[in-house]
Amino acid sequence: MFSFWFLLKIIQLQAENQFEIVYSAFSEGNFNKEGWHIEVPHSTTLFQKCGNETMFGGFSTFSNDTLITYNSSLPPHYQVKVSFKYWKIDSWNNEWVYIFFDDKLKKEMFNLTEDYQVCGHFDKDSFEKNVTFQIQMIHSSKFIFIIITSNLDQNAQNESWGINDFKIEILKCPKGCMYCQDDILPCDFWIHFKSFWITPSEFDEWKIDGNTTLSSSVCAGLNIAGGYHKLGSNQTVQSTIFNLTSHFIVQVEFKIWLFGNWDVDQFILKLDNQELLNEHLNQSAHEIKCQGNKQNVSILNFRAQMNHSQSSMEITFTTLSNSTQNKYWGINAFDLYIGKCSINCEQCYGPGYQQCTACIKDWVIFKGECVYYNKIPPLTFDHISIVQQLTKISNNIHSIQLKSDQIDQETIKQGENEIEFDQNISILNFEIQAQCQKNLNIHNFIQIYIRQNNEQQYFHTRSCQENLPTIIIKTNLLQKFEQTKQFLLNVNETSVELYQLVILEYQQTKLLILSLNFIWT
Ligand SMILES: *[C@@H]1O[C@H](CO)[C@@H](O)[C@H](O)[C@H]1NC(C)=O
Ligand SMILES: *[C@@H]1O[C@H](CO)[C@@H](O)[C@H](O)[C@H]1NC(C)=O
Ligand SMILES: *[C@@H]1O[C@H](CO)[C@@H](O)[C@H](O)[C@H]1NC(C)=O
Ligand SMILES: *[C@@H]1O[C@H](CO)[C@@H](O)[C@H](O)[C@H]1NC(C)=O
Ligand SMILES: *[C@@H]1O[C@H](CO)[C@@H](O)[C@H](O)[C@H]1NC(C)=O
Ligand SMILES: *[C@@H]1O[C@H](CO)[C@@H](O)[C@H](O)[C@H]1NC(C)=O
Ligand SMILES: *[C@@H]1O[C@H](CO)[C@@H](O)[C@H](O)[C@H]1NC(C)=O
Ligand SMILES: *[C@@H]1O[C@H](CO)[C@@H](O)[C@H](O)[C@H]1NC(C)=O
Ligand SMILES: *[C@@H]1O[C@H](CO)[C@@H](O)[C@H](O)[C@H]1NC(C)=O
Ligand SMILES: *[C@@H]1O[C@H](CO)[C@@H](O)[C@H](O)[C@H]1NC(C)=O
Ligand SMILES: *[C@@H]1O[C@H](CO)[C@@H](O)[C@H](O)[C@H]1NC(C)=O
Ligand SMILES: *[C@@H]1O[C@H](CO)[C@@H](O)[C@H](O)[C@H]1NC(C)=O
Ligand SMILES: [Ca+2]
């Protein structure tokens, strides 16, 4: 049964999870290069035709040293799919195209033979070829960077390239979630707390090795904190984020950029001195041109999670290298998400109301939930009557019992009972029925306590009389505000005690509001 249900669930999930297109370009009627960064185009006409197809770049346009980048800002998601058609045009002689799908590098070599003739030069060494590149990956960063370049080294008239049918699709986080890593775990408690580095002033808060301010560089049109000649191996970058909203967990997402050959090195992330990532770096990098210098570049996507509830957090990034070779690194697309406590909760160990351990000022925990302190006053008495009568009340085995229209009689047990009414119930009635037992030597009198409004108390004693053995107390209680009503009811064979849990002076208090006891001497 269970496995059947599980299977059903999986089938359902697969049916629900559809990739949604968040960006598409360079196909029928959609030739808009907005958002694309282009380096070294060899023509001012950025869209060329190749046979029947129009493409971004193309013959004599994208060639020697051309690099294009798309920086896409994505809605909350947990997987991404990117695809496009790549066109190799004319005489490539064993030359490579390099594509960075964030940290996934794809490359392909093209040569003179084996292709077909569609555009550009029409001679035996100038064939074309189109290849569809597609990648699907686990991805939850707010940004994906796609960089396309090649190692072409001749004239743009001789060898060139272009792309079309470009698409980015995602699997979206469940509704109401600003962050997630799948569509199964609860995620509605995540909030986006901070992004780095958006404005230049934010660099001031970050120090390299404790004394130099972090500065930025640009590679492939993307801003990087640190980077070439700005941040070297063995260096540490640190900052502290203050005034975090009350939370129980933190999640960081960021990309590390490596410049040079990082093959036996280490990257370490610490949050508040706790080592969260310690990654061995062995990257296969590829040369791209950054700010005029050709260098080996690789990108790594990292994410890490830690239980955390303090209002500040120190973040430390470090690289370690045993080599004396100069290498550089940087960070970008840094986002901090926090798992927030429930509303009005200051300290918690989880997102639920029941997981709150301290409330914000003027609010107190009531039944594991934060409530404003004066929202739980005692109920007020609307009506009280005490009746002594001859007729026996019931053939109940107990000499004493409590009844209420709002409580199912069956649920009341001997000992302590917890009873709760929600705010929609505005009137409660209670009736205590007590019967002196035949043996008058045991019960000589009955003591009744009723807490009245304004803290006046009503105390009443009746002796057990054989001619009037039955006593009935009837009360109606009213609420002043819409409030949760919580009671403790202690019942045994000689006593009924009804307590209301109220909040007075910021304290949860157990207030006796009604009792009946047989007393004997
Ligand atoms: C262009 O499209 C036309 C009609 O669809 C087709 O006949 C022709 O072969 C195509 N040419 C090329 C180069 O693909
Ligand atoms: C050209 O590339 C094709 C496919 O990659 C390969 O099969 C062929 O051997 C290559 N030819 C040369 C001369 O490199
Ligand atoms: C693109 O490539 C495919 C297979 O390699 C080929 O069948 C198709 O004709 C090419 N498209 C054009 C328009 O040349
Ligand atoms: C390739 O491009 C670079 C810079 O854009 C230029 O200096 C070089 O001459 C070009 N090479 C060829 C063969 O066109
Ligand atoms: C184009 O490339 C071919 C093959 O490498 C070479 O023989 C030819 O001279 C090149 N033509 C130009 C104009 O660069
Ligand atoms: C930074 O601190 C290190 C050691 O703590 C010291 O060697 C270096 O001179 C300092 N640099 C600056 C710019 O203060
Ligand atoms: C990516 O684009 C966003 C705007 O959509 C921008 O804020 C961000 O700085 C860009 N990222 C990089 C690394 O340049
Ligand atoms: C944190 O909040 C306090 C009180 O609101 C404020 O005085 C302080 O400047 C804040 N600190 C930072 C770093 O924003
Ligand atoms: C550097 O060398 C030491 C000693 O051989 C070794 O323990 C350490 O792991 C090495 N560090 C890296 C980053 O390779
Ligand atoms: C680094 O990766 C390469 C190939 O991926 C592998 O051959 C090499 O052994 C790795 N080096 C270390 C130190 O893991
Ligand atoms: C980094 O530190 C290690 C160990 O202290 C040292 O062997 C190496 O030369 C340093 N590398 C650089 C580039 O400073
Ligand atoms: C019944 O409850 C009352 C009040 O809690 C207590 O004083 C009394 O001892 C209890 N009697 C029995 C028989 O448990
Ligand atoms: Ca051609």
CA–CA separation, 106 vs 87, rounded Å? Answer: 15
Whether residues 386 and 313 share a domain: the answer is: no
Whether residues 383 and 493 share a domain: the answer is: yes
Which atom of ligand 1 is found nearest the CA of 52? 1
Tell me the CB-side half-sphere exposure of residue 181, using CA atoms within 13 A: 9
Residue 345 inside a domain? The answer is no
Mutate to test the pocket of ligand 1, among 50, 52, 87 (most ligand atoms within 8 A of CB): 52
Which atom of ligand 10 is found nearest the CA of 280? 14
Residue 256 inside a domain? The answer is yes
Q: Read off the tokens for 376.
A: 């739980």
Provide the domain count of the chain: 3
What pLDDT was estimated at residue 454?
Answer: 65
Look at residue 68 and give its three-state secondary structure. Answer: strand
Q: Which residue has the tokens 């003739």?
A: 117
- Measuring from each residue's beta carbon to the nearest atom of ligand 12, which residues come in under 6 Å? 490, 492-495, 497
Start-to-end C-alpha separation, the chain: 63
Does 379 contact ligand 7 (Cβ within 6 A)? no
For 374, which DSSP code? G
Look at residue 426 and give its three-state secondary structure. Answer: coil
Whether residues 205 and 156 share a domain: the answer is: no
Number of neighbours of residue 116 by Cβ within 10 angstroms = 9
Q: Which residue has the tokens 């980048």?
A: 69
Does 321 contact ligand 11 (Cβ within 6 A)? yes
Residue 154 and residue 64 in contact, taking contact as beta carbons nearer than 8 Å: yes
- Write the CATH number for 47: 2.60.120
Q: Which of 314, 340, 366 is where one domain is finished?
A: 340
Whether residues 229 and 144 share a domain: the answer is: no
Q: Read off the tokens for 96.
A: 């490579």
Whether residues 232 and 292 share a domain: the answer is: yes
- Its domain, for residue 210, covers 190-340
Q: What is the residue type of 458?
A: Y
Q: Which of 139, 172, 205 is where one domain is finished?
A: 172
Does 223 contact ligand 7 (Cβ within 6 A)? yes
Residue 264 and residue 322 in contact, taking contact as beta carbons nearer than 8 Å: yes
Q: Which residues of the chain have pLDDT under 70?
A: 1-16, 114, 373-375, 393-398, 438-443, 454-456, 481, 521
What pLDDT was estimated at residue 439?
Answer: 60
For 236, which DSSP code? E
What pLDDT was estimated at residue 3?
Answer: 47
- Measuring from each residue's beta carbon to the nearest atom of ligand 5, which residues come in under 6 Å? 91, 93, 125, 154-155, 157-158
Q: Which of 135, 56, 131 is nearest to 96 (CA)?
A: 131
Residue 206 inside a domain? The answer is yes
Q: 286 C-alpha to center of ligand 2: Å?
A: 22
What pLDDT was estimated at residue 451?
Answer: 86
Whether residues 225 and 139 share a domain: the answer is: no
Whether residues 151 and 294 share a domain: the answer is: no
Structural element, H or E, at residue 16: helix 2-16
Residue 485 inside a domain? The answer is yes
Whether residues 154 and 203 share a domain: the answer is: no
Whether residues 258 and 382 share a domain: the answer is: no
Does 245 contact ligand 8 (Cβ within 6 A)? no
Number of neighbours of residue 451 by Cβ within 10 angstroms = 20
Distance between alpha carbon 21 and the CA centroid of its chain, in Å?
Answer: 23
Residue 124 inside a domain? The answer is yes
| β pairing state of 445-451 and 247-259 | unpaired
Which atom of ligand 8 is found nearest the CA of 242? 13
Residue 3 inside a domain? The answer is no
Does 169 contact ligand 9 (Cβ within 6 A)? no
Whether residues 383 and 336 share a domain: the answer is: no
Look at residue 192 and give its three-state secondary structure. Answer: strand
Whether residues 424 and 477 share a domain: the answer is: yes
Does 113 contact ligand 2 (Cβ within 6 A)? yes
Strand partners of residue 491: 415, 496
Residue 402 inside a domain? The answer is yes
Cis, peptide link before residue 96, omega less than 30° from 0: no
- Write the CATH number for 256: 2.60.120.260
Q: Which of 119, 145, 172 is where one domain is finished?
A: 172
Residue 465 inside a domain? The answer is yes
Whether residues 334 and 385 share a domain: the answer is: no
Whole-angstrom Cα Rg for the chain: 37
